[in-house]
Amino acid sequence: MNALVKPLLNTAPLKNNHQDFFQISVQAFANKERSLLCDLYLYIPRTNEYLFEWKAHRKVTRDQIRDWEKCELSGLRLAILSKDKNKLFLELGIKIEKDLQQFLTPLQKDDITLIKEHANYKKNLLQEISSITLPRLFTLALRNNQFLPVIQYVQKKILTFDINESETVSNARAFSELLVQDNHHLRSAAISVLYGEFLGFKDQQALSDIFCASLLKDMGLIFLNNRFLQEMTSELSKPDLKEYWQHGKMTDHLLQKSGIKLSARCLNLIKQHHELPSGNGQPLGLGPLNTDELSYLIGMVDTLFQYAESKFVNTKLTLLQICETLEKKKDLPGLIPYPKDQYKNLALFLLQSNSK
């Protein structure tokens, strides 16, 4: 097989799905471990059928590549859905900008154009990000209680991450597609990423751990009674609170069952996001020696937004007023007791260019 990628013609559609497929030679992997952006299927010529083979964003190892080489020698073929071929072009196009006709044939003219555009995609995003004044975004977000521009800024940042850095980074890129509206979870995830970067966690893996953990940490709440989402935590009984604090563990269980591949650190952040430096957090009461410091960052950012939404106690303060109060290290009734210095630093970060 001379071409790395070519269309597979006159084949049966996937059962219950009338999409055509696109055949991939195992040579496309160049024996390099990577996280693919799309699902893989295995084509069985004898029965003219496709079997699901590999889930998107799972890391493809060299051992797996060797297994697929054996499959190819036996006459089997890897394939993707045709609707996903642009994702494949994105991945391969970044790597092979020369002699596109030689490596990817036959392709339509617009596909070649798409590959060339993707080759400049990261560069264009970085230029766009560099033109944005982040303190100005914070100023407008706090004044207007509108964080969508900040959320979209983080989306652009995550989309510049390398496709093949790790499974968590690949998943972060995929989850960033959700950053298109303003709500509590997206605010919390976006600010956690930016604050983490501000504190020195600048590598893509750490920022992806922060983003995925902050975004997914409360999925376990779907297993709990709906009143946990409607009532303030100060109104919950002790048995209810004990159940409520288990949602991080439930989230971890759900993710493990789903097959979504995240780093061990990311999963720990999810389980520990309600722990406190004092050792009086939930659900295990772990102290600083046994808790990832990023857990405190994620929990504190989430707490700030929850307080503004009257999740703990009814408050008439705006988010801007809450930040101004924390900056002065004043007490706020019902606020989860992270150290005042840590709250002050977070407030200063958000208020960095705010003027009345």
Summarised one tens digit per residue, pLDDT across range 122-132 is: 788 889 999 99
Which pLDDT value is given to residue 111? 53
pTM: 0.76
Nearest partner of 260 among 162, 171, 158, 159, judged by Cα: 171
Which pLDDT value is given to residue 354? 53
Token readout for 121 is 């995609």
First and final C-alpha spacing in the chain = 67
Summarised one tens digit per residue, pLDDT across range 208-218 is: 999 999 999 99
Domains with residue ranges and CATH for the chain: 5-119 (no CATH), 122-350 (1.10.3210.10)
Q: Where are the beta strands (DSSP E) in the chain?
A: 5-7, 21-24, 34-35, 40-44, 49-54, 59-60, 77-81
Contact status, residue 301 vs residue 192, Cβ threshold 8 Å:
yes
